Amino acid sequence: MELRQLQYTLQIAEERNFSRAADKLHIAQPSLSQQLSKLEKELGVLLFHRNTSSVELTHAGESFVGHARRIMDAVEQLRQEMDDISQLRSGRVVVGSMPITGSHLLPYVLPEFKKAFPGIQISLLEDTSLNLEKLTAGGGTDLSLLSLPLQEPSLTYEVIGEERILLAVPPDHPLANRTEADGVRIEELRHEPFVVLKKGQGFRKLTVGLCHEAGFEPNVVFESNNIETVQSLVAAGMGITLVPRFIARAKRSELIPVYVPLAEPVPSRVLVIAYRKGRYLSRAAEAFIQTFKNTLAQRLNDDSE
């Protein structure tokens, strides 16, 4: 059994098609089929059911793919560790990010990192919080930008910052004129219509959790995958929502809600860089975490002034 055979099998499992897998691997399809047949003969089992349009994993194949992913991830970690030991000034870090949060923070972080470490390649992968946790736990990313609480028990994290939560309301809403001196209490929102993110996104869970702590179930009237859409719907008078401070500052649309402070103790969300417990972090990954911490600390300081 060879490492390249594991790589080939994983690519076929991902593409569910020999032709597409061969293209991604930059090899001829007959060579790919030959290598898979050789591996199956050595193992004494079929890894895939073949048909005219696609291939599907067998029970043995599902087990094999799970182990193969762990082996290839371990090989990559070993390679990173050896690169660090030899003090190579090159490397690659795969970073997972929540799309909207990342769009507001990464434009500040990535240029600083590139300036300090020009030889390190950053590959960005955007997805929902729930999917990112699964990807990070499975080695699909080295690090992921997430917010607490995490659901995946195999992950650990480093806190990189904390941002306040604001209430977003339509411009003509009765609460639109509230100030920090008379901030809105969450319980005052009991009978309000809420516009929220769809399930699977971390901030949706935080919003609903704050309402539960205040003793009520939010009346959700609209849901969206995009918090920019949520804010536009609020601005158009379709309801209210809670918004992280960094995202509230980005006014990208003509439809802008009014952002109102919440009463003390002001709720917040904790942003973290998460990675799998026990995973070796390359020096490049550690440098990225530190750059993110420093950049976010500066942003938070600017926000408080």
pLDDT of res. 116 = 85
Distance from the Cα of residue 15 to its chain's centroid? 22
Q: For 48-89, how does the pLDDT look when each residue is reduced to its tens digit (9 = 90+)?
A: 998 877 789 999 999 999 999 999 988 888 887 777 655 556
3-82 shares its CATH topology with 162-269: no
Place of tokens 């290598």: 35
Structure tokens at 156: 């650990």
Report, at the CATH architecture level, how domain 3-82 is classified: Orthogonal Bundle (1.10)
Report, at the CATH architecture level, how domain 162-269 is classified: 3-Layer(aba) Sandwich (3.40)
Task: Assign 211 a pLDDT band (cuts: 50, 70, 90).
Answer: very high
Compute the residue count for the chain. Answer: 305
Distances (CA, A) of 184 to 12, 48, 225: 54, 58, 26
Q: Is the pLDDT of residue 301 over 80?
A: no
pLDDT of res. 234 = 95
Q: For 252-284, how does the pLDDT look when each residue is reduced to its tens digit (9 = 90+)?
A: 556 789 999 999 999 999 999 999 998 888 888
DSSP string, 28-49: -HHHHHHHHHHHHHHHTS--EE
pLDDT of res. 121 = 87
pLDDT (mean) for 193-221: 93
Axis-axis angle for helices 29-43, 3-15 (nearest 10)? 110
Of the candidate ranges 117-121, 147-151, 184-188, 195-199, the one whose mean pLDDT is the lowest: 117-121
The domain ranges of the chain are 3-82, 88-161+270-304, 162-269
What is the rounded average pLDDT for all residues in the chain? 89
Structure-model confidence comparison of residues 60 and 302, the more confident one: 60
Task: Assign 304 a pLDDT band (cuts: 50, 70, 90).
Answer: low
Within 13 Å of residue 171, how many CA atoms lie on the same side as its CB? 6
- Establish whether the linkage from the previous residue to 111 is cis, with ω within 30° of 0: no
Among candidates 160, 167, 165, 166, which has minimal Cα distance to 108? 160
- Establish whether the linkage from the previous residue to 267 is cis, with ω within 30° of 0: no
Give the predicted TM-score (pTM) of the model: 0.66
**Contacts of the segment 245-248: beta carbons below 8 A, 24+ positions apart:** 245/163, 245/164, 245/165, 245/166, 245/303, 246/101, 246/104, 246/105, 246/163, 246/299, 246/303, 247/100, 247/101, 247/104, 248/166, 248/168
pLDDT (mean) for 149-167: 93
Q: Give the bridge partners for 220, in sequence order.
A: 194
* 41/186 Cα distance (integer angstroms): 63
pLDDT of res. 228 = 87
pLDDT of res. 87 = 58
Residue 167's CB: how many other CB atoms inside 10 A?
A: 28
CATH fit for domain 88-161+270-304, picks 3.40.50.620, 3.75.10.10, 3.40.190.10, 3.40.50.10490: 3.40.190.10
Distances (CA, A) of 78 to 129, 159, 210: 28, 26, 43
Task: Assign 251 a pLDDT band (cuts: 50, 70, 90).
Answer: low
- Please give the single-letter amino acid code of residue 128: T
Q: Is the pLDDT of residue 30 over 70?
A: yes
Which residues, 6+ apart, have CB-to-CB distance to 17 below 8 Å?
A: 54, 55
Distances (CA, A) of 16 to 10, 52, 135, 261: 10, 11, 19, 50
Residue 50's CB: how many other CB atoms inside 10 A?
A: 11
pLDDT of res. 122 = 92
pLDDT of res. 158 = 94
Of the candidate ranges 19-23, 89-93, 192-196, 207-211, the one whose mean pLDDT is the lowest: 89-93
Which residues, 6+ apart, have CB-to-CB distance to 16 below 8 Å?
A: 54, 55, 56
